[in-house]
């Protein structure tokens, strides 16, 4: 089949270099465009960041790339709208882009289902009030959150400075034995390079924001190539599920 092109609308700048890393591993085109707002992890600012006007602008910026699907590459800027609001956000983005669309919040749900995961631990970088909205989003989708932690980091820029060892420490410290997978939401966090170490340390799948966002875009067009370096979600044995 032709090489798929998945367009990503990424807020501000932090960990967007995860996308060319994945592009090299997957043999897909993964162009990224940026929209801008305050990078504060606070509800009013996040509602503005994921507004229909901003996402329409992002879709227009991606149009010259002729994407086969578009994904809003932001967890907090999607789940902050609540389940129905996030669905409406995606519907509006799909209409603006003229192709299938999704967001990182829905990507986490789809990825968990693809792996058959029902019980998760969440290691969030956000302040607690924002992080709890993600837990609520998962619960609404039928995913049980058996452990929950919040690092209380106020801005995406600060999250983007976390190094590999800090991400590993975050994961190990916040896993739970009853969790079938650990979820780390925040596309501002660099995680793709450390995924094999995370899963080896925990002995279970780890789902991270940029990883699931990329997988979701490919899933939308029926193309989920195996790439073990991107974790269990991209392992060959799972490619028949959810595609």
Task: Tell me phi and psi for residue 71, to 5 degrees.
Answer: -130, 130
**Per-residue pLDDT, 154:** 60
Q: What's the longest Cα–Cα distance across the chain?
A: 47
Note whether residue 93 is domain-resident. Answer: yes
Domain with 12 in it: what CATH number? 3.40.50.12500
132 CB-contact burial (10 Å; exposed 0-12 / middle 13-18 / buried 19+): middle
pLDDT in tens, the chain (243 residues): 578 999 999 998 889 999 999 999 998 999 999 999 876 677 888 888 899 999 999 999 999 999 999 999 999 999 999 999 999 999 999 999 999 999 999 999 999 999 999 999 999 888 889 899 999 999 999 999 999 988 777 666 677 677 888 888 888 898 999 999 999 998 988 999 999 999 999 999 999 999 999 999 999 999 888 899 999 999 864 443 343
Instruction: Establish if 178 belongs to a structural domain.
Output: yes
CA torsion 10-236-222-94 (nearest 10°) is -20
Residue 67 domain flag: yes
| Judgement on whether residues 141 and 71 belong to the same structural domain of the protein | no
The pLDDT assigned to 122 comes to: 96
For position 238, what pLDDT does the model report?
46
Q: What is the pTM of this model?
A: 0.93
For 83, other C-beta atoms within 10 Å of its C-beta total 17
91 and 184 share one domain: no
Residue-level pLDDT at 229: 93
pLDDT score, position 118: 96
User: What domain range includes position 167?
Assistant: 115-208
Q: How far apart are CA 234 and CA 212, in angstroms?
A: 9
């Amino acid at each position: 089949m032709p090489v798929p092109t998945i367009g990503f609308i990424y807020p501000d700048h932090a960990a967007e270099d995860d996308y060319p890393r994945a592009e090299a591993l997957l043999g897909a085109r993964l162009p990224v465009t940026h929209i801008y707002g305050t990078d504060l992890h606070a509800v009013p600012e996040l509602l503005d960041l994921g507004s229909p006007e901003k996402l329409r602008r992002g879709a227009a910026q991606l149009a010259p790339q002729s994407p086969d699907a578009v994904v809003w590459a932001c967890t907090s800027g999607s789940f902050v709208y609540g389940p129905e609001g996030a669905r409406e956000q995606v519907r509006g983005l799909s209409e603006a882009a003229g192709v299938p669309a999704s967001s990182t919040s829905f990507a986490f749900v789809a990825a968990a289902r693809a792996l058959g995961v029902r019980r998760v631990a969440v290691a969030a970088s956000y302040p607690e009030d924002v992080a709890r909205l993600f837990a609520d989003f998962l619960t609404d989708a039928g995913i049980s959150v058996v452990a929950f932690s919040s690092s209380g980091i106020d801005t995406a820029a600060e999250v983007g400075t976390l190094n590999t060892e800090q991400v590993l420490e975050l994961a190990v410290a916040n896993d739970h034995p009853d969790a079938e997978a650990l979820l780390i939401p925040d596309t501002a966090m660099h995680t793709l390079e450390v995924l094999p170490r995370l899963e080896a340390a925990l002995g279970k799948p780890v789902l991270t924001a940029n990883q699931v966002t990329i997988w979701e875009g490919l899933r939308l067009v029926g193309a989920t190539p195996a790439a073990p370096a991107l974790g269990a979600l991209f392992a060959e044995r799972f490619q028949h599920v959810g595609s």
